[in-house]
Amino acid sequence: MPEGDTVLQTATRLHEALAGQVLTRSDLRVPRFATADLSGRTVLDVTARGKHLLTRIEGGLTLHSHLRMDGAWRVYAPDERWRGGPEHQIRAILANEEHIAVGYRLPVLELLRTSDEDRVVGHLGPDLLGPDWDPGPALDRLRAAPERPLGEALLDQRNLAGIGNVYKCELCFLARVTPWLPVGALPDGALPRLVTLAERLLNANRDRPTRTTTITSELRTPPSPPNATPAQSAPATTPARAPARPRARPPVRVQERLYVYGRARRPCLRCGTPIRLADQDDRPTYWCPGCQSGPTP
């Protein structure tokens, strides 16, 4: 699921493939911009702003895209087979002599003047992965609505930009409160610690291929081998030997990458209580009833 860390990784890949190169092909497959031709223009840079992607192009243009739930950009060599999805899901193609960038399932794709970027990202709060990250304004925005459930407040990109549903669930678990607890009901000092932790988690994952929030492991016992079959019948004069009992297999330590997200009904890594699942604002939300205090559905 695209969140601030994975969007930044996408921006980095696109920047490495496109920046400084002249476009030899452009194809924007949305009705409003279907006739726009960017061929012959140089891509200046690709940057992430929260969960938004801004591809800046010579001539004062910016291609703005947002991945939302399942959008993706893929980069291919000219002779490489495209594997991001069926043809009808392609929304954008940007190519130069060395690389082809293909945008799949992009729910937001628009071409605008670079001077108008504020129209699409100006509402965002401080960017957790941005060079100008400042926790102060983020805390002020979160505290402005003390009655709002914490999970909803963390997802509101106007408060702080980059947190998606996975981080929402993981951050609430690490804060030991449910996502339905009002922001104003957090213990003293908990909100600044939570915002600091959010910045640390996203930065820790900015270069990882797989998102990880855990520092513990879960002990699991692998399934025992099937029972040994009894030996073939021995002569009547020889006492039958009891079938061999299968040897117990030692537990193995399996690294879990997330504490609660996607782990419904599985034991909590800390207390063993089964993880619960419910919707919050139409998003699947995971929490541990043993570790997290606060209201629940």
Is residue 91 flagged as an active site residue? Answer: no
| DSSP track, the chain | ---HHHHHHHHHHHHHHHTT-B-SEEEE-SGGGTT---TTPBEEEEEEETTEEEEEETTTEEEEEE-TTT-EEEEE-TTSPP-SS-GGGEEEEEE-SS-EEEEES-SEEEEEEGGGTHHHHTT---BTTSTT--HHHHHHHHHT-TTSBHHHHHH-TTTSBS--HHHHHHHHHHHTB-TTSBGGGSPTTHHHHHHHHHHHHHHHTTT-SS------EEEEPPPPPPPPPPPPPPPTTSPPPPPPPPPPPPPEEEE-S-SSTT-TTSBPTTT-PBPEEEEETTEEEEE-TTT-BS---
Is 179 in the active site? no
Q: Is 187 noted as a catalytic residue in this protein?
A: no
Q: Pick the catalytic residue: 49, 51, 211, 276?
A: 51
Our answer to whether residue 168 is catalytic in this structure is no
Q: Which of 2, 126, 149, 179 is catalytic?
A: 2
Of 41, 141, 143, 283, which residue is the catalytic one? 283
Q: Which residues are catalytic?
A: 2-3, 51, 283
